[in-house]
Amino acid sequence: MTATIATTELDGLNLIRRGKVRDCYAVGDDLLLVQTDRLSAYDVILTPPIPDKGRVLTSLTLFWFDALSDDVPNHVITADVDEMPDAVRRHADVLRGRSMLVKKLKMLPVECVARGYLVGSGWKDYQATGAVCGHALPAELPLSARLDPPLFTPATKAEAGEHDENIDLARTAEILGDDLAAQAESLTLSLYARAREIAAERGVIIADTKLEFGFDAEGTLVLGDEAFTADSSRFWDASLYVEGENQKSFDKQMVRDWLDAQGWDHSPPAPVLPPEIVEQTTATYREIHRRITGRDLD
């Protein structure tokens, strides 16, 4: 286990923004994305940070970018700190294993979500309306029901502190235009299908996932941000899956469950996470990394 990093202050680099999890710096015309160990739930950053989380997310993202490279290009230039510019390399002790130098993209203003199972906000929408993001579903489906075919259920990108809003394909087309909305749907579902196959070979169900795309300088639509990590996806143990029940998750669901049990109203500040929840969350993130990549975190 390496040092836990809640925030970065990299002298000589221009900090562009600090997100819920990542710190983003300008490096010439490119960007340096640094995965900290911050953890958010219900759009609130929690304390304390989770040891190893940033390195797990970076390693998982790189695994999936490589595995899906024949299906879609991605924005990574290098994740090897020793190949980065001098201004970055001088911070190698902090950045190694948790940073990527990436191309700057013009990001699509929607989050592209694929749902293969009826859980989370999709389950809540279904209970209320019988549909998920405009997709009418059969009556009386149980919690965690498998959805065949999977659904494209995009969401708006909320401002910091606000909540994303699920939208239907018609609203997506109003934002992106018909052709780009159709392209985003097709690409999201095809990548989800491929990743689901890979995960299934490892005994893991990807219940749903969030992907982000953007245009590079040449006008090519590429995969950006992160991909199929425990922050952006729900991972279940396939051997324990039971329809109609909540599933054992290899993600931050345990943290959400603990927070809900405290009676927290989701307004900051959040309750401080106890040591046992922090330790269990680190173990969970490391375990899904081992299952997906086939190796322990270095």
- pLDDT tens profile 259-271: 999 999 999 999 9
pLDDT at 158: 64
pLDDT at 6: 96
Q: How far apart are CA 107 and CA 224, in angstroms?
A: 8
CATH architecture, range 14-104? 2-Layer Sandwich (3.30)
pTM of the predicted model as reported, rounded to 2 decimal places: 0.94
Judge whether residue 110 has pLDDT over 70.
Answer: yes
Count of C-beta atoms within a 10 Å radius of residue 174: 12
pLDDT bracket for residue 251 (50, 70, 90)? confident
Judge whether residue 161 has pLDDT over 70.
Answer: no
**Can you tell me the mean pLDDT for 290-298?**
94
pLDDT at 163: 61
In CATH terms, the superfamily for domain 107-250 is ATP-grasp fold, B domain (3.30.470.20)
Q: How far apart are CA 137 and CA 13, in angstroms?
A: 50
**Can you tell me the mean pLDDT for 28-42?**
96
Structure tokens of 203? 């005994």
Q: Which residues of the chain form CATH 3.30.200.20?
A: 14-104
Reference 145, options 119, 171, 113; nearest CA is 119
- pLDDT tens profile 167-187: 999 999 999 999 999 999 999
**Can you tell me the mean pLDDT for 109-113?**
96
Q: How far apart are CA 225 and CA 191, in angstroms?
A: 15
Q: Which segments of the chain does DSSP mark as H helices, in order?
A: 53-67, 86-89, 92-95, 120-129, 169-176, 178-200, 253-261, 275-293
pLDDT at 124: 93
pLDDT bracket for residue 142 (50, 70, 90)? very high
Q: Which residues of the chain form CATH 3.30.470.20?
A: 107-250
pLDDT at 157: 78
